[in-house]
Amino acid sequence: MLKVKKIVLFFLLLVSGFVFLRNSAMAVDYIANVVFVGNKGSGKTYLCSKFLERDLSGINSRSFSHVLKNMGQVGSNTFALKVWDTIGEERYRELVEGFCRYANVAIVVLNLERVSNEDLDSFLIRNLDYYCEAIMKVSPNCGIIIALNETVPLTPIRRERVLSRIDLILRGILDDGHYANLAFLRRNLNDNEIKTLIEQCVRDALVHPDVLRSLSTRDDGINIIKVVSGSCSYSVEYV
């Protein structure tokens, strides 16, 4: 009987310890939603996996799902993120608006590997323009990070053309007060460099006073986001 009591006591202590650790991990000042969106094959799940340091292949391929990531101390506050991976199939695109309704940061992933120069404009309209329009429609304060997944390096001329087209699209979509930046995720970056780059983008957003203000007032999104990609000096600011 005594042995049984000891086993039960051990089990209760184990469970209570788990609950304590879980609650401690969740005792944060803010929880922000970070959403990866983009066309099929752009590399959303791949980049999300590197950011979260866990294998998501086969888990999120047919549905929306999220993983909790504790960011710890960022500035003077503690943060946890709900990081969402989404599907890129065309037939699910109408769900983007509903899914991004409560997004604080949307990471739009683009991959130009199979896009010719002739198709570049139409590709960006179908993808970058489409997703940014959908996000702004339901979450007008949401910050947008454009992650260009360079599985094939861009030539200087092509890079300049891409930057010009993206700048033109953003100027037609974003209202005054938004800040956008383009992060180049080059092919030669290792897993840790990819994680660090995306994490730095998010951290820079979380310490911005307008971001804190929107989160503290339980806004659906953020007013302005400042991102320093580390591998790209290009940025577009509308003030």
Percent of all residues in the chain with a pLDDT value above 70, rounded to a whole number: 66
CATH fold group of domain 29-237 = Rossmann fold (3.40.50)
**pLDDT 10s digits, 147-198:** 998 888 888 899 889 988 988 888 888 766 566 777 888 878 899 999 998 8
* Average pLDDT value for residue range 93-110: 78
Instruction: Identify the pLDDT of residue 110.
Output: 92
Instruction: Identify the pLDDT of residue 218.
Output: 39
**pLDDT 10s digits, 36-57:** 888 888 888 889 889 988 887 6
Instruction: Identify the pLDDT of residue 123.
Output: 92
SS3 labels along the chain: CHHHHHHHHHHHHHHHHHHHHHHHHHCCCEEEEEEEEECCCCCHHHHHHHHHCCCCCCCCCCCCEEEEEEEEEECCEEEEEEEEECCCCHHHHHHHHHHCCCCCEEEEEECCCCCCCCCHHHHHHHHHHHHHHHHHHHCCCCEEEEEEEECCCCCHHHHHHHHHHHHHHHHHHCCCCCEEEEEEEECCCCHHHHHHHHHHHHHHHHCCHHHHHHHHCCCCCCCCCCCCCCCCCCEEECC
